[in-house]
Amino acid sequence: MDNPETVISTHGLSKRYGKKTALDNVSIDIKKGRIYAIVGGDGSGRTTLLRILAGFIPSWKGEIEILGRKGKHGLRMAQKSVGAYIDVPACYDELSVGDNLTMRGILVGKNDKERLKDLRAKFLLKNRHVGKRGLRSASLGVKQVTGIVAAMIGDPQILLLDEPMYGLDTDGLLAARDEFAKLREEKGVTILASVHFPTELDEIATDYIFMDAGRVIGEISADDLKAKIAEGGVEDVGGYYAALKAAQTGKEGTK
């Protein structure tokens, strides 16, 4: 990782489940203080990439460097500065929203009550009543927001988020976009987030990574993509992704 502004670097990252290739030779460089939207359909490899970077699962082959550290021990140390919300909220169903977030603060060693109070107020979690059964009885939106807030506790340098906007109501969506932009602009936090719909992070994304069948098929900055849209080359983010997939299919067809 020669560039000090690069906080995540992968080279030839691959993952297999039996005979199925979930991630195929992925090489990316993620810069500090930027928001990356990972666009791709089911089976594209988005979640697998995030899970490997978060240390939840091992890769099959390839190299990873996070915050200048690599190797098993180095990555474990670096991942202490990474907040992750992947697959499902890392929460306890039997506990309330508040108890879950307090527990998360204790686990990361930063039980900042003022920060927690601020986040709960911003995401309206102080007004969420989930009953005696805790989060088990909560809606998908409440669980989703609780997971996102939990990932931000401890002031991580990097956030890895898997479809963070999916299932949020309008209040939660606006709060998430505002907080992500604030973290980037004021604290230089890097955010790498997969999206359920291509346009979910349009207002705040600085970069896009497009994936299909476990491979990265394109990367572009938000500014360059906006220029292409203004020129009439593509209609929107989804249109650009569709064009990349079509081009990829064409390449494979000529082999």
What is the arrangement of strands in the sheet containing 190-194, beginning at the earlier edge strand?
A: 82-85, 158-162, 190-194, 35-39, 207-212, 215-221
- pLDDT value of position 172: 84
Residues 6+ positions from 5 with CB-CB distance below 8 Å: 31, 32
- Tell me the pLDDT of the chain averaged across its residues: 86
Tens of pLDDT, residues 185-228: 999 999 999 998 888 898 999 999 999 999 999 999 999 999 99
Confidence of residue 88 (pLDDT cuts 50, 70, 90): low
Taking the C-alpha atoms of residue 215 and residue 25, their distance in angstroms, rounded to an integer, is 7
Percent of the chain past pLDDT 70, that is, above it, reads 85
Round to the nearest angstrom and report the end-to-end CA distance of the chain.
34
Q: Which of 120, 93, 94 is nearest to 105 (CA)?
A: 120
Q: How far apart are CA 85 and CA 166, in angstroms?
A: 12
Q: Please state, in angstroms and rounded to a whole number, the distance separating the CA atoms of residues 48 and 69.
A: 21
> Do 82 and 160 meet the contact criterion of CB atoms below 8 Å apart?
yes
Give the mean pLDDT of 175-188: 93
Asked if 7 contacts 66 with a C-beta cutoff of 8 angstroms, the reply is yes
CA–CA dist 105, 111 (Å, integer): 4
Instruction: Give percent of the chain with pLDDT exceeding 90.
Output: 54
Angle ∠(143,40,14) on CA atoms, nearest 5: 100
Please give the Cα distance from 175 to 147 (Å, whole number).
Answer: 14
Top pLDDT among 179 and 133 is at 179
What is the structure's pLDDT at 140?
Answer: 76
pLDDT at 183 over 60: yes
For the ranges 25-39, 43-57, 117-131, the lowest mean pLDDT is seen at: 117-131
State residue 89's pLDDT score: 55
- Whether 109 shows a pLDDT value over 70: the answer reads no
Mean pLDDT (whole number) for 38-49: 94
pLDDT band at residue 251, thresholds of 50, 70 and 90? low
For residue 36, what are the contacts with CB-CB under 8 A and spacing of at least 6?
A: 30, 190, 191, 192, 193, 205, 206, 207, 208, 209
Q: What is the CA radius of gyration of the chain?
A: 19
Q: According to the per-residue pLDDT averaged within each range, which of 41-45, 89-93, 118-122, 150-154 is highest?
A: 41-45
- Which two structure tokens, joined as six digits, stand for 148? 């996102």
CA-nearest of 240, 239, 205 to 38 is 205
Domains, the chain: 33-52+81-253 (3.40.50.300)
| Separation of alpha carbons 243 and 121, rounded Å | 41
Q: Distance from CA of residue 149 to its chain's centroid?
A: 13
Q: How far apart are CA 255 and CA 251, in angstroms?
A: 7
What per-residue confidence (pLDDT) applies to 128?
A: 54
pLDDT at site 204: 94
Model pLDDT, residue 1 = 54
Residue 51 predicted with pLDDT over 80: yes
